[in-house]
C-alpha cells in the first residue's frame, strides 16, 4: 500500500472540516510546489541524478531550506537504491512519506499547548510587527474559550499605534477581558497587573501581547527578557508557553526572526501565520529542522476558525492532495478496465 493510501486511511474519520482547511489553506503552495513535482515525475521516466537535481531545485523554491532539502534527497536516494526503484512511478508518495519522517525526526516535541488544570497558565506571544500577532491572540482566545477555558488578555504591546485598541476589539468580539494601560506605558507593568488580576479571578489562561519593533532589536530583546522575569517572579515556571508568531509569506526571513527571538526568550512553539497566502509553505519543514522548535499552530485563512493546531500528516496531505486524488482516479480506471 502506498504512503498516500496509508495517509488517507489515517486521516479518514478525523475532523474532515479541519482536513479540508489544510487542503484549502495550502492551495498556493500545492499549485506551485506539487504541480512542479508532478511535472518532474511526468517528464522523467527514470530516477537518475538529473531527476534529483531538478527535484532539489523545486524543493528549494518552496523554501523547504537547504539542509532539509539535502537530508530529503539523501533519504530518497537511499530508498531508491534499497528498493531498486528504476522509474518515477510513485515518487510523489515516497517524497511525502519522507517529508513526514523528517518533520517527526529528532527530539520528540509536543504540538499541544502546555496548559494544565488548577493553575493560571500564562502564554507569552512574541513576534515582529505585522506578522498577525494580535489577530492570532484573538483567535487563540476564541479557541480556548470554545474548549471551556476562561481567558484574559494583556495588552503588552504599548508602543505600536493602535495595538491596544486592536486587542480590545478582539476582547469585545470574544467576550474576553483585556488588561491595558495608556499607550507608551511600561509593558512589564501592564503584564504584572494582568497576572495579578488573572490570579485574583481564577482565570485559566492569560495571553500576553508584546511589542515587536525589530528596528530597535537590542531594546526589544531586553524588554522581552524583563517581561519574562516579571512573569516568572509572580508564577513559578511561567510563562508556560512562549509562542513566536511568524509570517509564512516571508519565507527564510522567518528563520532569522526565530533565531533572534529564541536568544532573548526561550521560544516553546511557533505560530505560522498566513500559510494560506504563500507558495512557500515548505518553510514549516525548515523551521522544525533548523530550530528544533515545534510548529504549534498555523493560520489557514482569515476566519476565526482558521487558526488550527499543526498536524504534520494533514499538512503533507494538504501538500499532496492532488496526487492522492490522482492515484484514486488511476486505481478506479484500472478497476473499470478489469471489469470490462
Tell whether 336 is in a known binding site: no
Residue 194 CA: distances (Å) to CA of 28, 156, 168 = 40, 9, 14
What are the DSSP calls for 205-267, one per residue?
EEEE-----GGGHHHHHHHHHHHHHHHHHHSTT--SEEEEEEEGGGTHHHHHHHHHHHHHS--
Tell whether 106 is in a known binding site: no
Tell whether 17 is in a known binding site: no
| Dist CA 96 CA 317 (whole Å) | 8
Tell whether 274 is in a known binding site: yes
- Which residue is it, cell 479557541? 143
Tell whether 7 is in a known binding site: no
Q: Which DSSP letter does residue 160 get?
A: S
Tell whether 38 is in a known binding site: no
Tell whether 151 is in a known binding site: no
Tell whether 276 is in a known binding site: yes
Tell whether 203 is in a known binding site: no
| Dist CA 261 CA 10 (whole Å) | 36
Tell whether 189 is in a known binding site: no
- Which residue is it, cell 513535482? 37
Tell whether 162 is in a known binding site: no
Tell whether 127 is in a known binding site: yes
Tell whether 133 is in a known binding site: yes
Tell whether 55 is in a known binding site: no
Angle formed at CA 310 by CA 30 and CA 19, multiple of 5 degrees: 60
Tell whether 130 is in a known binding site: yes
| Dist CA 30 CA 35 (whole Å) | 7
Tell whether 134 is in a known binding site: yes
Tell whether 132 is in a known binding site: yes
* Binding annotation: 127-134, 209-213, 273-276
State the binding site for GTP.
Answer: 127-134, 209-213, 273-276
Amino acid at each position: 500500500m502506498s504512503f498516500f493510501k496509508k495517509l488517507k486511511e489515517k486521516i479518514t474519520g478525523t475532523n474532515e472540516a479541519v482536513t479540508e482547511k489544510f487542503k484549502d489553506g495550502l492551495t498556493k503552495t500545492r499549485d506551485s510546489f506539487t504541480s512542479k513535482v508532478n511535472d518532474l515525475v511526468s517528464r522523467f521516466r527514470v530516477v537518475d541524478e538529473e531527476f534529483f537535481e531538478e527535484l532539489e531545485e523545486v524543493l528549494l523554491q518552496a523554501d523547504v531550506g537547504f539542509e532539509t532539502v539535502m537530508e530529503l534527497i539523501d533519504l530518497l536516494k537511499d530508498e531508491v537504491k534499497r528498493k531498486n526503484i528504476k522509474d518515477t512511478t510513485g515518487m510523489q508518495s515516497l517524497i511525502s512519506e519522507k517529508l513526514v519522517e523528517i518533520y517527526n525526526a529528532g527530539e520528540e516535541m509536543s504540538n499541544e499547548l502546555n496548559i494544565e488544570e488548577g493553575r493560571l497558565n500564562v502564554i507569552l506571544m512574541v513576534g515582529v510587527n505585522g506578522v498577525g500577532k494580535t489577530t492570532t491572540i484573538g483567535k487563540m482566545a476564541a479557541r480556548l474559550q470554545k474548549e471551556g477555558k476562561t481567558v484574559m488578555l494583556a495588552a503588552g504591546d504599548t508602543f505600536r499605534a493602535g495595538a491596544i485598541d486592536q486587542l480590545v476589539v478582539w476582547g469585545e468580539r470574544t467576550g474576553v477581558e483585556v488588561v491595558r494601560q495608556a499607550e507608551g506605558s511600561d509593558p512589564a507593568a501592564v503584564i504584572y497587573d494582568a497576572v495579578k488580576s488573572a490570579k485574583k479571578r481564577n482565570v485559566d489562561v492569560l495571553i500576553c501581547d508584546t511589542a515587536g519593533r525589530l528596528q530597535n532589536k537590542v531594546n526589544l530583546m531586553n524588554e522581552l527578557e524583563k517581561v519574562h522575569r516579571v512573569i516568572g517572579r509572580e508564577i513559578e515556571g511561567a510563562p508556560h508557553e512562549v509562542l513566536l508568531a511568524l509570517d509564512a509569506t516571508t519565507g527564510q526571513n522567518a528563520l532569522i526572526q526565530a533565531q533572534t527571538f529564541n536568544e532573548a526568550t526561550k521560544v516553546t512553539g511557533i505560530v505560522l501565520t498566513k500559510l494560506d497566502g504563500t507558495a512557500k509553505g515548505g518553510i514549516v519543514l525548515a523551521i522544525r529542522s533548523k530550530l528544533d522548535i515545534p510548529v504549534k499552530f498555523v493560520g489557514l485563512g482569515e476566519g476565526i476558525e482558521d487558526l488550527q493546531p499543526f498536524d504534520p500528516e494533514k499538512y503533507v496531505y494538504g501538500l499532496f492532495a492532488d496526487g492522492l486524488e490522482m492515484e484514486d482516479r488511476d486505481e478506479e480506471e484500472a478497476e473499470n478496465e478489469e471489469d470490462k
